[in-house]
Structure 1
Amino acid sequence: MSFAEEVKNEIAHCEPENTDCRYAELAALLCMGGALILGSHGHIGMEFSTSNNAVARKALKMWMASFAIRPEVRVRQGLRLRKKNYYILRVPPSLASTRTLQQLSLFPGDREFQSIDLKNTACQRAFLRGAFMGGGSVNQPKGDYHLELLTENELFAQKLLKIMRRFRLPAKMTDRKGAYLVYIKEGNGVSSFLQQIGAAQAYMDFESVRVVKEMRNNVNRVVNCETANLQKTVDAAIRQRRHIERIQASGLYLRMTPKLQEAAELRMHHPEASMSELAALSGMTKSGLAHRFKKIADIADTLEGQDNHERSNNI
């Protein structure tokens, strides 16, 4: 079972706080996962389908608690092996169903869902919960953080985005092949969304994995940083020894100043030490020691330049 299915199974058992919240949750659920049916005389019906058994039961339970019309319930089997069954709730077009759907603001022209209460914070949470059950998905916390709500209704997507931003969720909206996607790509945002819709256990599971993941990433960053610093220390030590050996081979070593000879002897006796360690051993400052090695490097570079010039003349 995917993490998204686990979230839907959990929130499908959340009870709306009151009648207004139930209307808000049912409206979002049907708007996300349902389709209107046009009948004769301008009457409207509705068909809702889902592959999640718990969500189907929740939709039927909320509908039966809200309206007298009993929907038709069917199960459509998957066409292939291991394909999930689809649970279908159908309300045939009629005058009564038309009035019922108007109460849920499911007509295309009702862009602000004026028939339901979306000013109350609890109703807003219920609205987001219904939308996620109807057409939401969220990645496993082990992977990239991503939560999305996908709908073909642009006005509905804009309403979801508006409500999510009221909760200070970092949600964004884009279009995808004729549909509209409201999404969150930040770990804190996904975590907060799960809290808002009442997925307490999923939130705990998500945070548990996220903490371990962040800790592992921090450890890796520290290790990588220390490895890089160690490599720099090794490279610097090798380069300094080569400069000293080049000067020794030229016979100019004893002509260097005592301070430069002191730095050279220190490096040759401690080939793997860092600059900080050499400074501590010598009683010098790190910058002062680095200045001496810079002068040694300049002498070695001068010798190297002279050698190259002589080779070119011989050719």
Structure 2
Amino acid sequence: MSFSNDVREEIARSITDRDRQFACLYGVLLYCRTFTEKQIVLQSESPVFARLMPTLFHSVFRTVLQPDVRTVARGGAQSMVSFTITEPRQIAKICETYHIHPEKREIRLSNLVNNSLSAFLAGVFFGCGSVMDPNKEYHLEFNTPSELLCTDLQKLLGSIGVSGGRILRKQMYVLYIKDSEHIEDTLTYMGAQQCTIELMNIKIRKDMRNKANRVRNCDEANINKVVSAAMRQTEDIRWIVKCGQMDTLSPELRELAELRLENPELSLKELGELLSVPIGRSGVNHRFQKIAAIAEELRSRAVHTK
């Protein structure tokens, strides 16, 4: 089962009394793709939607209004459930009940009473919303059928502190939210508190994995850095040996050079602890810089001699 369907399951359970059912059906109807004076079509692949719609229509319109219900196979296990209303008197009844003008649909807050705004937003989500699996991506969107409805919805979400972007996609005005905290706020407001907790847990697990990866990458980088430095230092010392100049090194440089040849895998700090008079990492690094300068000078002499 998808995360988006989990959200629908949870918010459907929160649509309990008639005021919330009235507001939820308003959201579904107002934001459905097809709403004209001749036809209203509500469609979804969600089984929750298929179960909820008859309940909402019965609660609001009793037996006065009965949509035509059809199920169309989409391939595999998926199917599209469609609730269609074509009877002019039934469409007129819906428009009268919710004060909807098909040619200019807009949110009328007067339809929402007794703190049912959250149920209305849940209905909008049922009608045109979806949310990505947060394991893959943080993304919630509403595919609204008009610019006016998109603007109204953006203002509504803004009233609860949620902001998002807008794009035009296939003649639909898409309002999308990518900020995980704003998605959490939206899910919680619609009544999907458990799904919000799941999203937060996923964020925590992702953060822990990312931190572990950063530590591992940092460790690997440090190891590579130590190995690379040790190889350069060893090459310099071997060149000095080849040139027969080891005895010309000062006692502290010679001791360090011999330790490096004997312990190519050790870090600067570890080498410093093995010296007869232990010194810190920066002191060891400073001595290796002197050794590198001597080796470079010997290389330069060799080139000029040739």
TM-score by length of 1: 0.83
Which deviates more, 76-85 or 123-132? 76-85
Aligned counterpart in structure 1 of residue 294 of structure 2, from 285, 290, 299: 299
Task: For 1:67-78, list aligned pairs within 5 A.
Answer: 67=61, 69-78=64-73
Structure-2 change in CA distance of 1:106 and 1:297 (3 Å): farther
Q: Distance in 1 between matches of 2:263 and 2:134?
A: 48
Q: What's 1:5 paired with? A: 5
Q: Distance in 2 between matches of 1:230 and 1:81?
A: 51
Structure-2 change in CA distance of 1:11 and 1:89 (3 Å): farther
Paired AA for residue 84 in structure 1? S
Question: Match of 2:134, SS?
Answer: coil
Paired AA for residue 35 in structure 2? L
Question: Match of 1:78, SS?
Answer: strand
Q: What's 1:42 paired with? A: none
Task: For 1:32-47, list aligned pairs within 5 A.
Answer: 32-39=31-38, 46-47=40-41
**Contact conserved, 2:15 with 2:24, CA < 8 A, in 1?**
no
User: Identity of counterpart residues, as a percentage?
Assistant: 30
Q: Distance in 2 between matches of 1:79 and 1:265?
A: 75
Task: For 1:50-199, list aligned pairs within 5 A.
Answer: 50-67=44-61, 69-78=64-73, 80=75, 82-90=77-85, 92-94=87-89, 97-98=91-92, 100-107=94-101, 108-117=103-112, 122-199=115-192
Paired AA for residue 65 in structure 2? R
Structure-2 change in CA distance of 1:217 and 1:53 (3 Å): same
Q: Distance in 1 between matches of 2:176 and 2:304?
A: 65
CA offset digits 1:227-262 (Å, max 9, x no partner): 111111111111111111111111222212233223
Alpha-carbon distance, 1:83 to partner = 4.1
1:269 aligns with 2:269: no
Output the aligned Cα RMSD. Answer: 2.7
Alpha-carbon distance, 1:150 to partner = 1.2
Q: Distance in 2 between matches of 1:105 and 1:250?
A: 97
Q: List, as ranges, runs of 4+ consecutive aligned residues in structure 1 with deviation greater than 6 Å.
A: none
1:227 aligns with 2:220: yes
Question: Match of 2:73, SS?
Answer: coil
Q: What's 1:28 paired with? A: 27
Which deviates more, 234-243 or 248-257? 248-257
Gaps of 5+ in 1: 40-44
Structure-2 change in CA distance of 1:115 and 1:97 (3 Å): farther
TM-score by length of 2: 0.85
Equivalenced residue count is 302
Q: Distance in 1 between matches of 2:235 and 2:154?
A: 63
Question: Match of 1:218, SS?
Answer: helix
Structure-2 change in CA distance of 1:57 and 1:8 (3 Å): same
